Structures are given as C-alpha cells and as structure tokens.
Amino acid sequence: MAHDLFEAAKGAMAFAHAPYSKFPVGVAIRADDGKIYTGANIENLSFPQGWCAEPTAIGCMIMGGAKQIVEIAVIAEKLALCPPCGGCRQKIREFASVETKIYLCDEVGVQKTMTMDELLPFSFQTDTLG
C-alpha cells in the first residue's frame, strides 16, 4: 500500500521549486478520507523563508477537508531516506497519531518505515496540550 504513496511523493518532487538549496523534496500523505495529498518544497529569494514539502502537503490535506494523516512518504532527490526536518516533525505530529507510519524513500521505493513516535519521541501532543 505504501508504493502508491512513494509514487505520489516522487511525482510531487518534480514540482519542487528549490533554486537556492538545489534540494528537491516530495511528500505524499494518505489522509483519513482515503485520498492522497502531495507537496513539494517551495523556496523564495529570502531563503530560508520558503516552506518544506511536508507543510505544503498538510495544507493541501486540510484544504481538501481531511483532518488526520494516516501515513506519509518522504523522498529527496539528493539524500536517500531523508527524514522530515525537526520543525516538520512537529507539524506532522499535529495531524498524526503516535502510530502513524512514516515512509522514508530512495529513488526506487520505500526503504524504511517508522512510526511518528519513533520519528519524534516526546512530541507535543494535541490530545494532551490542545
């Protein structure tokens, strides 16, 4: 089932706007509505004030009406098994459970599967704080 997320993330990476970092990233989220939402990093001249692929996909998910991340795949063109950055880990956690699957990919597919809790232990949890 993660293969379709890999393909969607890889396709999203093609839309990355990364002229400054030269580090394209793509993300695909399967949400609680069963749909797949994608995102890519989008930089601007005021680097690093652009945004990562993860919040781009999360924004699409929320605007699409979904509320919860079921699973998410991440791929970067220049770094196999690239995990979300620290800030994005908390952004993902806002819409994920501790059991949410995080798939880290390389150019051929999913190579590592983690849970949200493994990716960001001791995270701020909305059910506790919010």
Residues annotated as part of the active site: 54
Give every CB contact of residue 19 below 8 A, 6+ residues apart in sequence: 43
Report the distance separating Cα 24 and Cα 93, nearest Å. 22
| Cα distance from N-terminal residue to C-terminal residue, the chain | 32
- Contact call for residues 31 and 37 (beta carbons, < 8 A): yes
* Number of helices and strands in the chain (H, E): 5, 5
